[in-house]
Amino acid sequence: MTDAQDPARTPAPKPGILDIAPYVGGKSKIDGVAEPMKLSSNENMLGAGEKAREAYANAVSGIHIYPDGRAAKLRSAVADKMGLEPERLIFGNGSDEVFALLNQTYLTPGDNIVSGQYGFLAYRISAKANQAEVKLAPEPDYKLTPEAILGQVDDRTRIVYVSSPSNPTGSYNTAEEIRQLHAALSPDIILVIDEAYAEYVTEPDWQSSFDLARDSDNIVVTRTFSKIHGLGGLRIGYGYAPLKVAEAVDRIRLPFNVSVAGIEAAVAALGDEAHQQASRELIQTWRPRLAQAIRGFGFQVLPSAGNFVLVRFKDVDQCQAANAYLNTKGIIVRPVGGYGLPEGLRITIGTDDQNRAVMDALSEFAAS
């Protein structure tokens, strides 16, 4: 029997692929509930703004044409809005793709990335796919510190990922902490600052890392259109990177990774100040109110700078029971055991009615 005839020989993925736990998004359905309240994915519960919806609808007539591979219209709009150099922007199918492109461009087998103990899972998946190690810095107080990160960095570290604000904890790093971390890193290590929730931050000691990145050769700052702009379903994100990094990534980026409709909707969303302000005000009004109410029921709520709160229960059993009770009320939230927090539920801040429903349900659960 020749090798070509051997039925035992089958295609095999490269080492490590089958050891990766696939990403599982927030649940979206409850059996027997036609229209559940989905508060599991940190989406903008006001939806997309009117301008973005109109632009999306108007783009339908052109969807038979390939999109501009450089997303020039969106590139120019982001650069103008954020005060950035257009040639330093990397666009992706969500900021997740930007992370994957960075990992694919810079990681080789045996290298490693460093992230927080509770850091976003997307960083890890593509790093492992490139046969790199993932080193997790401890977050004993549910916040990543420069000291904890630097304690994990070694001579095989190529990329450090920091979420600020962080999903799922809601913690953030001050501008001074980011500067300290960057100053202590070797200049050949890329520091990625994930600012997906930047528009929701009100804390005065936080600031965007765009200015720090402008004069740096090893900082990448990422943003997304999925949160404040309500375009999660269109998958649009970007990174602001040193020119040499942007040019290297562009060599492997797939040519049409941002759609025609996505480009048009994102450009319109950038100019919709009214929708952005309404989205911020919803979070600023309800984030403290929701946290205070839930703490009053006897549960721990971690401080949050994002559009969500993380609720910790006394143990896993109580957490699972709370999640099941919320489901009976037609409410879907996010268990975060996959992040190493099996006693926690992350709850997206919703509309007025949705938030009141969450408070009523958790009040009833606490009293049961």
- Asked if 140 and 224 sit in the same domain, the reply is yes
3-state secondary structure of 104: helix
CA dihedral angle for residue 147, residue 227, residue 85, residue 166, rounded to 10 degrees: 0
3-state secondary structure of 102: helix
Q: What is the DSSP string of 129-151?
A: HTT-EEEEE--TTSS--HHHHHT
Matching residue, tokens 């509930």: 33
- Asked if 127 and 256 sit in the same domain, the reply is yes
- Asked if 278 and 246 sit in the same domain, the reply is no
pLDDT 10s digit of each residue in the chain, 368 long? Answer: 566 677 778 888 988 898 888 887 777 888 888 889 999 999 999 999 999 999 999 999 999 999 999 999 999 999 999 999 999 999 999 999 999 999 999 999 999 999 999 999 999 999 999 999 999 999 999 999 999 999 999 999 999 999 999 999 999 999 999 999 999 999 999 999 999 999 999 999 999 999 999 999 999 999 999 999 999 999 999 999 999 999 999 999 999 999 999 999 999 999 999 999 999 999 999 999 999 999 999 999 999 999 999 999 999 999 999 999 999 999 999 999 999 999 999 999 999 999 999 999 999 999 99
Structure tokens at 169: 């904890």
In terms of residue numbers, what domain contains 150?
50-270
Altogether, the residues listed in the chain come to a count of 368
Interhelix angle 121-129/95-106, rounded to 10 degrees, is: 30
The pTM of the full predicted model, rounded to 2 decimals, is 0.95
Domain end (from 241, 270, 299): 270
Is residue 9 included in any domain, yes or no? no
- Asked if 103 and 156 sit in the same domain, the reply is yes
Distance between CA atoms of residues 47 and 227, nearest Å? 9
Domain end (from 226, 242, 270): 270
- Asked if 93 and 222 sit in the same domain, the reply is yes
